[in-house]
A = this chain, B = another copy of it.
């Protein structure tokens, strides 16, 4: 038995851009515009479709789906569940973003129902993954109140229980499928000063999942790509406003070769 060479992050980026996958997003009002711009800049084709009348049909034709509970309300929750079930039925990957799942019983109930629909991946900050895995989150709003390291055991447990790849993002990201785990050390401290960059990352993860066979490595490549674009954008940025602009430019400009040279992915 011969071993195939591993697919590099840069090769994954090139494949994603070549496919320009249609990413169906049911996300929060704060994130919609920046997420669409992030996906366009990265090379994917975003669409935001949330009506119950069409969400399931649209998930069937899109390349991947993301579901983000940031500004969830009951009609949207119905569409999220219908779209996720449709994605699964049609063999399309879908990614869950459990924004502030710890903030209310309403949110945690919605996430429990979504988890039952077997997401391909879950991306959240440490507080969100801790809460999702049954732990106590040290946060009350949308920003993380816990260190990534504190959520690693929870992430492994959540991955094993749900069957999803779980990505805990922060200064150093941790991503696991319950068996293997990776750390991704790309990124910059200005990223959490721009709203919805975490939410938008969920879309980029979906775009890489849509065009890669192995969800753990595909997700890690997406995290490295995103973090490296953040590092490049921070060069010369004088604050979060200029950084956000330069970040879109960096997502657009970063080449596969640059990603291979700059990605800091290690076994955990």
A interface residues with partner B (beta carbon < 8 Å) = 22, 28-34, 36-37, 40-41, 45-54, 57-58, 61-62, 70-75, 100, 103-107, 140-143, 192-196, 238-242, 244-250, 252-253
Q: Which residues of B contact A73 (CB under 8 A)?
A: 50-53, 75
Q: Which residues of B contact A142 (CB under 8 A)?
A: 45-47
Q: A56 to nearest B CB, angstroms?
A: 10
Our pick among B57, B106, B140 for the contact of A53 (Cβ within 8 Å) is B106
Extra 17 A-B pairs, beta carbons < 8 Å, given A33-B34, A54-B106, A242-B245: A29-B29, A29-B32, A30-B36, A31-B33, A33-B196, A40-B192, A40-B194, A40-B195, A40-B240, A45-B141, A45-B142, A53-B73, A53-B104, A62-B140, A238-B253, A241-B249, A241-B252
Q: A215 to nearest B CB, angstroms?
A: 23
Given A29-B29, A40-B194, A241-B246: A140 in contact with B71 (beta carbons within 8 A): no
Contact of A41 with B249 in the complex, beta carbons under 8 Å: no
Q: Which residues of B contact A141 (CB under 8 A)?
A: 22, 45-47, 62
Contact of B143 with A45 in the complex, beta carbons under 8 Å: yes
Q: A45 to nearest B CB, angstroms?
A: 5
